[in-house]
Amino acid sequence: MRSPREQYRDIFVSDLGKMIYALDRNREREAAQEQKSEAHGENNKKPEAHEENNKIASKRSVLTESANRNSLLTKDRLTEHNRSTNQNHETLSRSRARRDSTSAQFRPVHSELPYKTEYKVGWICALPFEAAAAEAMLDSRHPDLPFDPYDSTLYTLGCVGPHNVVVACLPRSRPGLSAASAVARGMLEKFRGIRFGFMVGIGGGVPSDRDDIRLGDVVVSQPNLEHGGVVQYDFGKAEEGGKFRRTGHLNNPPTFLLSVLNRVQINHERGRRTYPIHMARYDEEDMEEYLCPQSERDVLFHENYLHPAGMLDCTSCDLNQIIKRPERNTKTTTVKIHYGTIASGNQVIKDAQTRDRIVKDLGGQVLCFEMEAAGLMNDFPCLVVRGISDYCDSHKNDGWQRYAAATAAAYTRELLLLIPPEDVVK
């Protein structure tokens, strides 16, 4: 079916052709009459016929010029009409978007932007130095996103091997389950292509005869017994007799990530560890605070011995209260990776007796404590990776925090490099 514009053009051309045809016919008839007059000797009428022909030619030229001018004007009007129509459509679309945004009480995510959908891995940290350790693991860094007044989180974009990664840090001085959950939701809303993630940072270790956990070791969430890798220890009901019964359930990590954990453990059993190579990045970038502390000792005190009040370090602590532990074989590795249950809650544990009581209530096989993972597991499919910076006792200090963040980030990079890109797309 022909458009109105094409139909209008055909009508205009048809009328113009008829007019020109009529003029030509008149000219032919007058020419024939002139020849007939000459044959009869009527030469006195020739100047008049010649003048009339000139008038007809002039009139035809004027009509042709007018028709061309009208055609150009009509084309310009059609072009302007189309431009105006497109602008009206754009204005209407923006108006509808603002209306939908107001009614839904959230800013619509422009998921069609290709650079956002290409990011498949989310990496969340709770503290700035944890995010700095994560950024050091990126092979390249991508340009930052423009400022977004609807999302206060600042994202670091880059890649680790074949994977495009989004790194986000929790708001300053706002650790905890709710803050972690809010950042994860915002990340998934803005980057619709994310398939899985990691919660990476520091945690408080739970040393035991079964698990020889040291400062700088790494703990990875993995289902164990009745727990799915992470358990929220402070969510439940207070019952009669001072008893506390935990309720709720947290999801397991994605199955394919658990398969990657198996691959890593097999590699480590065969002596194929790559995270020490990744740790060398901190030395190359002059991040000395993220290397193993030389002035801080890794000491573990008995659970009933409290740190002297007002003292910043353990120089005044009773050395007789230190638990003697065998030296590690540094020929294999100085960092050990532990897999099992991570306890998560909204409080910082700085008392060894409280630590041991919670661990006993949870079945006695908790490896570390932290404050964010429980807010992620049900909505953000991820693994939790924690570097041990203290023992959740009163002797807790900050001397090992950056090194613990670095070991956790280096292990996470090793995991990522073992994940085929095809699994991420799925």
User: pLDDT tens across 284-313, in order?
Assistant: 999 999 999 987 888 889 888 888 887 778
Q: What value does the mean pLDDT take over residues 2-12?
A: 49
Residues 125 and 99 in one domain: no
Is 305 within 8 Å of 318 (Cβ atoms)? yes
Q: How many domains does the chain have?
A: 2
- Per-residue model confidence as pLDDT tens digits over 260-291: 999 999 999 999 999 889 999 999 999 999 99
This prediction has a pTM of: 0.71
Residues 341 and 362 in one domain: yes
* 387 class by beta-carbon count within 10 Å (0-12 exposed, 13-18 middle, 19+ buried): buried
Amino acid at 305: Y
Q: What value does the mean pLDDT take over residues 146-154?
A: 89
Q: Is the pLDDT of residue 151 over 50?
A: yes
Residues 143 and 96 in one domain: no
Residues 186 and 299 in one domain: yes
Residues 63 and 160 in one domain: no
Highest mean pLDDT among 54-58, 120-124, 225-229, 315-319: 120-124
Whether 109 is in a domain gets the answer: no
So what's the pLDDT on residue 240?
72
The residue among 40, 75, 104 that closes a domain is: 104
- In the block, tokens 């073992």 appear at 418
Q: What value does the mean pLDDT take over residues 208-214?
A: 92
Mean pLDDT across the chain: 80
Q: How confident is the model at residue 89 (pLDDT cuts 50, 70, 90)?
A: very low
- Per-residue model confidence as pLDDT tens digits over 344-399: 998 899 999 999 999 998 888 899 999 999 999 999 999 999 999 999 998 888 89
Both tokens of 390, joined, read: 């203290």
Q: Which domain holds residue 48?
A: 4-104
Q: 202-230: b or e for each residue (b if 16 or more CB lie within 10 Å)?
A: bbbbbbeeebebbbbbbbbbbebeebbbb
Alpha carbons 51 and 9: distance in angstroms, whole number: 35
Work out whether strand 337-344 and strand 230-232 pair parallel, antiparallel, or are unpaired. parallel
Whether 143 is in a domain gets the answer: yes
Q: Is the pLDDT of residue 425 over 70?
A: no
Q: What percent of the chain has pLDDT over 70?
A: 72
Residues 53 and 165 in one domain: no
Q: Is the pLDDT of residue 41 over 90?
A: no
Alpha carbons 334 and 392: distance in angstroms, whole number: 21
Residues 273 and 417 in one domain: yes
Residues 157 and 300 in one domain: yes
Whether 343 is in a domain gets the answer: yes
The residue among 60, 81, 104 that closes a domain is: 104
Q: How confident is the model at residue 13 (pLDDT cuts 50, 70, 90)?
A: very low
Q: What percent of the chain has pLDDT over 90?
A: 47
Torsion sign over Cα 407, 410, 415, 416 = positive
So what's the pLDDT on residue 319?
86
Residues 169 and 47 in one domain: no
